[in-house]
Amino acid sequence: MSTQIFVEFTINVLSMGSLYALISLGLVFVFGICRIVNYAYGEFITASSYALYFLGTFTRLPWALVFILGVSAGVAVGYLSELIAFRAFRGRSLDALLVTSFAVSIVLQRTFQLTISPRAKAVPVPAFFNHNMTVFGVVTPLRNILIIGTTILLLTVFALIMKYTTLGIAMRSASENFVTARLMGVPANLVISVAFVISGFLAGVVAIFWSARTGSVEPLMGAPPLLVGFIAVVIGGMNSLVGAVIGGFVYAILSNILSLTLPSGMLSYRDAVMFIIVIAFLVLKPEGLVRGNYQEESIG
């Protein structure tokens, strides 16, 4: 393998892995605290993408502000979906929560279809996102480097918050044993809201880079990133934030290796091969690469 291919491979893996890590982290934050497999997570990303579309198309706000407001839309949708939908079913069976997440997902999709448009809209992307830059002799758009930098920054900030702040310690205690955390005075509403806010925030950041890559937003656009998130989570493990990040990067590595090694006639089967790998994980290592603290309980 020439250096050039190696550098290109590394950049692809890091930029794709960064995005995937943020996606799966948003799923695992909610799962870790509430045991909700949140199918509406893709719609959090869609909501943020629409916010980016409206702000970028109809306003002349500076990009920084567009991004901040776009991410805020994800945060708001995450927070409100918990408040309006999930809270009523708290403490019920995991099935009830799962169905609730389907309901939230469908309601949001239909809302986008009916109030905005069933067709795709072009999301404006700042010009500097697509400026080419040269890294070790390889030309790559700046957004690939930006997503890597953003992810490193966010992971560092999250790690510090989770490690040192009282809220972070409370989140970790609640994800290990929710009832006992409440007995210590950790309010259920607080940690669950925070989990959804973080999930919505990550969905917002993902929306910036996902829509920059695809260039458009449409009501059903949440499905592909959701699928990416689930695959990363199956690989990395559902019970650990570290596992979510690792799962995202491992997924990117596997996907890029398949792109490089599959014969050209087989390339269209890349996803099929990927799913076979995922099934193998489910059969051989269902807890994922990082086991984390697995326990069965529902919250009351």
Partner 1 sequence: MSSISEATDRTPILEVRDLYVGYGSVLALQGVSLDIYEGELVSICGINGAGKSTVLKAIAGVLKPKSGHIIFKNEEVTGKNPEYLHKKGMALVPEGREIFSTLSVAENLRIGAFGRYNSRRFADDLADYFDLFPILKERYHQSGGLLSGGEQQMLAIARGLISHPDLLLLDEPSLGLSPTRVDDVFELIVKLKERGITILLVEQNAERALAIADRAYLFSTGTVEFDGDAKDLLDNVDITSVYMGGKKGAHIL
Q: What is the DSSP letter of 37?
A: -
Residue matched to tokens 């799913």: 275
Return the closest-CA partner of residue 181 out of 166, 171, 196: 171
- Name the residue nearer to partner 1 (CB basis): 187 or 215: 187
Give the max Cα distance, the chain.
59
Distance CA 253, CA 138 (A): 18
Near partner 1 by CB under 8 A: residue from 115, 166, 264, 268: 166
**CB of residue 238 to partner 1, shortest distance in Å:** 15
Binding mask 67-106 for partner 1 (x = CB under 8 A): ----------------------------------------
Return the closest-CA partner of residue 220 out of 119, 122, 73, 77: 119
Interface with partner 1 by CB under 8 A: which range of 6-14, 139-147, 175-183, 193-201? 175-183
Residues 235-294 contacting partner 1, CB under 8 A: 293
- Is position 183 an interface residue for partner 1 (rule: CB under 8 A)? yes
Region at 206 (left for phi over 0; alpha for psi -120 to 50; beta for the rest): alpha
Residues 211-240 contacting partner 1, CB under 8 A: none
**CB of residue 166 to partner 1, shortest distance in Å:** 5
Structure tokens, 97: 């929560």
Near partner 1 by CB under 8 A: residue from 57, 180, 216, 259: 180
* CB neighbourhood size of 192 (10 A): 23
- Is position 184 an interface residue for partner 1 (rule: CB under 8 A)? yes
> How many angstroms separate the Cα of 34 from the Cα of each of 94, 114, 211?
9, 31, 29
Near partner 1 by CB under 8 A: residue from 72, 173, 193, 214: 173
Interface with partner 1 by CB under 8 A: which range of 9-17, 41-49, 50-58, 186-194? 186-194
Instruction: Label the pairing between strands 121-122 and 216-217.
Output: antiparallel
Q: How many residues contact partner 1, by CB under 8 A?
A: 19
- Is position 146 an interface residue for partner 1 (rule: CB under 8 A)? no
Interface with partner 1 by CB under 8 A: which range of 12-20, 143-151, 183-191, 248-256? 183-191
- Name the residue nearer to partner 1 (CB basis): 65 or 88: 88
Residue matched to tokens 């398949």: 258
Q: What is the DSSP string of 97-138?
A: HHHHHHHHHHHHHHHHHHHT-SS-EEPP--HHHH-EEEETTE
- Name the residue nearer to partner 1 (CB basis): 169 or 262: 169
Q: How far is residue 121 CA from its own chain's centroid?
A: 22
- Name the residue nearer to partner 1 (CB basis): 4 or 180: 180
Site residues (CB under 8 A) for partner 1? 166, 169-170, 172-173, 176-177, 179-188, 293, 300
